[in-house]
Structure 1
Amino acid sequence: MWTSLETAFRTARYYIDCGERAVERRIGIVDPKADAALRRAGCRRSWAVITPCNPGCRRLRDAENAQRLRRLYSELARRGYCHRPAFNCAADGSWPEPGVCLFDIEHRTVVQLARRFRQLAYVAGRLGSAPALYWTQAWWIARPSSAHQDAALINT
């Protein structure tokens, strides 16, 4: 289970609506053109993609996911966070999840939002650097593989 879960997150596609076009970000891959589009969309230094959908990797009905997405957008508007729509899916296009790309927000805040919506992980990056996978739960550290050493575990 652990290896397949990590593989699913690492091979997923993360699309960010930058207004002029959607850019695809993939974990571990530097993309100057995507960085330029993110910069034009309002990102100054860092970004993070989170979704409120399918908490804990449990598939919910579309109506439940839509309600969770509305709650996330409402919270972001209340806090005044700069963000753009995002969309994640498995490499084969399955397991679609709408979400958001947050700009220039501290990792601690991102992890708190991801945890509030019961997400296991999120993807984040800095302009000019490759995106990385970040786990939100301490359970990950106890898993039986050491392949996660490049993934950051953030405890707040």
Structure 2
Amino acid sequence: MDIRTKYEKLYKAATYKIHSVPPIPLKIDERNPELVKLMKKHQLKNAAIITPCNPGSCKMPMDYNERRIEFFKEILEQRKYFYLPADNCDKETGHWHEPSFWITDIRLPEAKQLAIDFGQNAFVYTTSYAAPRLIWLIKEKR
């Protein structure tokens, strides 16, 4: 079984929560009025939720992920992105929880490259008017 087939159902079932005030939970392919309101209020065009943790969906030790989180934040700050903490959670079992970042006004090619640089299979991307969607970074097996 290829990676996309293995993880697509889990990624789509997960809840992606932005730690804004109040927190905003997101689901893939479901438009969230609170997210639309937040993005319009701050005149944001697009945003991505990307985790630097557990590259390739391989569970890594907490200290390894913590170092990746700090390095990821340094990159976001160097590139002058506004971001808020977020997380990804497997709602069905609650066993998979990853710290992530909601990064605003990041164009899709830049978001893709950032996620690729941190070894991710996929990430969440949205615009101010559309439902969050899952962007895959790996090709389907043919």
Q: What TM-score, normalized to structure 1? A: 0.83
CA displacement at 1:38 relative to structure 2: 4.2
State the number of aligned residues.
139
Contact 1:16-1:87 within 8 A present in 2 as well:
yes
Q: Residue deviations 1:57-112, cap 9 Å, x none? A: 10001111111000000111111111111110112322110010111111111011
Contact 2:14-2:90 within 8 A present in 1 as well:
yes
Aligned to 2:82: 82
CA separation of 1:30/1:126 partners in 2, compared to 1, >3 Å: closer, same or farther?
Answer: same
| Alpha-carbon distance in structure 2 between the residues aligned to 1:30 and 1:96 | 22
| Alpha-carbon distance in structure 1 between the residues aligned to 2:67 and 2:27 | 27
Contact 1:52-1:119 within 8 A present in 2 as well:
yes
| Alpha-carbon distance in structure 2 between the residues aligned to 1:43 and 1:119 | 28
Task: Give 3-state SS (helix, strand or coil) of 1:130's partner.
Answer: coil
Contact 1:52-1:68 within 8 A present in 2 as well:
yes
CA separation of 1:23/1:43 partners in 2, compared to 1, >3 Å: closer, same or farther?
Answer: farther
Aligned to 1:73: 73
Gaps of 5+ in 1: 145-156
| AA partner of residue 95 (structure 1) | W
| AA partner of residue 70 (structure 1) | E
Gaps of 5+ in 2: none
| AA partner of residue 59 (structure 2) | R
| Alpha-carbon distance in structure 2 between the residues aligned to 1:95 and 1:71 | 22
Q: Trace 1:78-117 onto structure 2 (pairs within 5 A).
A: 78-92=78-92, 93-117=94-118
| Alpha-carbon distance in structure 1 between the residues aligned to 2:55 and 2:19 | 22
Task: Give 3-state SS (helix, strand or coil) of 1:88's partner.
Answer: strand
Aligned to 2:55: 55
Percent identity reads 30
CA separation of 1:118/1:43 partners in 2, compared to 1, >3 Å: closer, same or farther?
Answer: farther
Task: Give 3-state SS (helix, strand or coil) of 1:14's partner.
Answer: strand
Aligned to 1:21: 22
Task: Give 3-state SS (helix, strand or coil) of 2:126's partner.
Answer: strand
| TM-align CA RMSD | 1.5
Which one has more relative contact order, counting CA pairs under 8 Å at least 6 apart? Answer: 2
Aligned to 1:153: none
| AA partner of residue 70 (structure 2) | R
